[in-house]
Chain A
Amino acid sequence: DARVTQTPRHKVTEMGQEVTMRCQPILGHNTVFWYRQTMMQGLELLAYFRNRAPLDDSGMPKDRFSAEMPDATLATLKIQPSEPRDSAVYFCASGIDRGRTEAFFGQGTRLTVV
């Protein structure tokens, strides 16, 4: 059963702490996306990678957020330091670039910063 796996599913942390979210894309998919979902803004693209190379991270606050793909089976999103306004559900999605990419989403990481 091919699916995108995200860990942790839930995270509660104190303001100022570092948060790391992990994503295992579907095997064979070469495009990985990070999205953030809030009630106010809906789904917002933070960053995406193709063949592990970052293509666009313009949606990400650069001073505190960073996204990497150490290898083809792992993508990470870090927030340091975290703030209460970062509370949201963070989704990872993967796909195959065929000129246009259908994104398959993970279950998300629900982050609460207190």
Chain B
Amino acid sequence: QKEVEQDPGPLSVPEGAIVSLNCTYSNSAFQYFMWYRQYSRKGPELLMYTYSSGNKEDGRFTAQVDKSSKYISLFIRDSQPSDSATYLCAMIHGGSEKLVFGKGTKLTVNP
């Protein structure tokens, strides 16, 4: 079993839809949780970062962490065609710099 599992999709939604992206993990030592966005033929860019269980909101994006279930989510409200990209979850053990990534979910938002 991989440490981080992420459904690769692809996921296709109409513009304006609410998008839900999810990852599960097996190692309870993960303490820091991130979401990266990767456009085609580009490097991943950090989108959101959370530490504790609960929600963190930034504009149209909300990151949610449930440590008891080992489950993290990224919600995108009012999705736009410019949100079309691959979204990767990533996690770090406490006291480590080793980012462990999910495989990414490819999202397409159709105008």
Verify B45–A31 contact, CB threshold 8 A. no
Verify A106–B97 contact, CB threshold 8 A. no
A17, CB-defined interface residue at 8 Å: no
B17, CB-defined interface residue at 8 Å: no
Q: How far is the CA of A8 from the CA of B10 in the complex (A)?
A: 30
Residues of A within 8 A of B100 (CB): 45
Q: How far is the CA of A74 from the CA of B78 in the complex (A)?
A: 41
Q: How far is the CA of A42 from the CA of B36 in the complex (A)?
A: 13
B34, CB-defined interface residue at 8 Å: yes
B88, CB-defined interface residue at 8 Å: yes
Residue of B32, B36, B97, B103 near A48 (CB, 8 A) is B97
Residues of B within 8 A of A105 (CB): 36, 43-45
Q: How far is the CA of A41 from the CA of B4 in the complex (A)?
A: 12
Chain A interface, >50% SS class:
strand
What mask results when residues 83 to 110 of chain A are scored 1 for a CB within 8 Å of chain B, else 0?
0000000010101010111111111101
Verify A106–B43 contact, CB threshold 8 A. yes
Residues of A within 8 A of B103 (CB): 41-42
Verify B102–A99 contact, CB threshold 8 A. no
Q: How far is the CA of A73 from the CA of B44 in the complex (A)?
A: 21
B87, CB-defined interface residue at 8 Å: no
**Contact A43 B88, CB 8 Å, known A91-B43, A102-B34, A105-B44:** yes
Residue of A45, A55, A97, A108 near B43 (CB, 8 A) is A108
Q: How far is the CA of A111 from the CA of B45 in the complex (A)?
A: 21
B46, CB-defined interface residue at 8 Å: yes
Residues of B within 8 A of A14 (CB): none
What mask results when residues 29 to 42 of chain B are scored 1 for a CB within 8 Å of chain A, else 0?
00110101000011
Chain A residues engaging chain B, CB cutoff 8 angstroms: 4, 31, 33, 41-43, 45, 48, 50, 55-56, 91, 93, 95, 97, 99-108, 110
6 contacts between A and B (CB under 8 A): A4-B43, A43-B44, A91-B43, A101-B97, A104-B45, A105-B45
